[in-house]
Structure 1
Amino acid sequence: MDRSAFLKRGALSAAALASLPAFAHFSPKREKDGEPLPPKIVRKGEGQKVNVLGDQQTFKLTSEDTNGLFSLIEEVNPPGTMIPPHVHTKEDEIFKVLEGELEVTVGDETTILKAGDLAFAPRNVPHTWKVVGDQDCKTILSVFPAGLENMFAELGALPPGPPDFPKVAEICGRYGITFIS
């Protein structure tokens, strides 16, 4: 690559980075207890596995790993798995489908996401999702800021069997999440 093309590409890359939202500017200098956060490699199959009322999750990066900036959760679920309509007041979510199909409703828009597609569910906007099609759906859930994994862990610790919806709603409510009909 010649010098002119290199400089032009570098300038375009810098402009693209500058246009990202503030939460997307990650820096290895973010500190926790006065020390830089250590890097972390998470291999396939690693992470804390939690069954959240039928939603099979694996915590890949948590608040502890990112100093509260974001959480990254892998979900692998069979067709029919769904989460009822709800609203977050404290965090934004991004759902990126890696395999399978996920029907997502955010606000008034419903669509089917396939491998490579993603949906942004900003705080205070109702959303829901359901695995559709005939194969398992693998999704990466990114949560900004982090901490929602604590609620998922609480829900995952509930006794097996049909969920006690008042208890589920109480736990979710403590995290600023309400279900809507």
Structure 2
Amino acid sequence: MKTATLLTTSLRRQRVSALGGYWKTPLVVRATRQHAQNRFLSHDTKTEDTVKQTVVSKWDGSKKYWMSNTEYTGVVVGKEATGGEYVITDGVIGPGGFVPDHYHKWEDQTFHVITGELQAKIGNETYQVGPGDTIHCPRGVSHFIENTGDTEVKLISYIFPGHWAEDFMAETSRQNHEGNLDLKLIEDKFGVVYI
């Protein structure tokens, strides 16, 4: 299991530059919009072409999935728009709500907190994060996030590659609505392993 790294502002710039903009270990940092843009433009050769194709993506709210009774996710930019390179979601976690401890076999995931306070357990490290903080979880690293405040947490999530993300959300939402989560099916089909 990989361990998490907390970086200061000056170290963050050095580390991200040294890695060519690609984070290889879990990070909890205060990131700027430019860091996120650099991250996607330097990730893969297809990403730059994909970004040029999708100039504006207007979310109509039609792809909104209830992942639990206190958490929903809306797909802002889907796999069709990016050729499966990445998916961007807009999520809300209600007070006391959480995302169960899990890891992704096939995807990296980055959360950017817009509002609210979270406790995030990434690998074996726990962090308190709030507005403006970013959490990066490489594939294979377990992560658990919980709303520890009295208000909703709003966050943006970047999932790359994005081939399975929407299908995973749709299936999990459907199973949650029916009251019976088949964790083995979710692992086999989407590479998401709940711990």
Match of 2:172 among 155, 174, 177: 155
Cα RMSD (Å) = 2.4
Give distance in 2, aligned partners of 1:23 and 1:109: 23
TM-score by length of 2: 0.71
Of residues 96, 110, 131, the one that matches 1:94 is 110
Shift of residue 23 of structure 1?
Answer: 6.3
1: distance between equivalents of 2:115 and 2:102? Answer: 24
Change (3 A) 1:41 1:131: same
Asked if 2 retains the 8 angstrom alpha-carbon contact of 1:52 and 1:152, the reply is: yes
Residue 80 of structure 2 corresponds to residue 64 of structure 1: yes
User: Residue 169 of structure 1 contacts residue 179 of structure 1 at CA under 8 Å; is this kept in 2?
Assistant: no
Query: Cα distance 1:84–1:41, how it changes in 2: closer, same or farther (>3 A)?
Result: closer
Q: Deviations over 1:39-62 (max 9, x none)?
A: 22325x645111122321110011
Q: CA 1:93–1:38 in structure 2 vs 1: closer, same or farther (change >3 Å)?
A: closer
Q: 2:127 aligns with which of 88, 111, 116?
A: 111
Structure-2 residue corresponding to 1:19: 20
Q: CA deviation at 1:171?
A: 2.1
In the TM superposition, what is the alpha-carbon distance from 1:111 to its structure 2 partner? 0.8
Percent of residue pairs bearing the same amino acid type: 24
SS of the aligned residue for 1:75 comes to strand
Larger Cα-atom Rg: 1
Per mean C-alpha deviation after superposition, the further-off stretch among 130-139 and 74-83 is 74-83
- C-alpha change, 1:84 and 1:30, in structure 2 (3 Å) is closer
1:1-16 → structure 2 map (5 Å cutoff) = none
For 2:68, the aligned partner's letter is L
Instruction: State the number of aligned residues.
Output: 156
Give the AA of the match of 1:152: M
> What is the distance in 1 between the residues matched to 2:126 and 2:145?
9
Shift, 1:159, TM fit: 5.8
Q: Deviations over 1:110-135 (max 9, x none)?
A: 11110000111111111111111110
Q: Does 1:41 align with 2:42?
A: no
1:131 corresponds to: 147
In the alignment, the residues of structure 2 paired with residue 102 and residue 72 of structure 1 have an alpha-carbon distance, to the nearest angstrom, of 20
CA distance in 2, matches of 1:64, 1:98: 25
Identify unmatched segments of 5+ residues in structure 2. Answer: 1-16, 23-37, 42-46
Return the offset for 1:64: 0.7
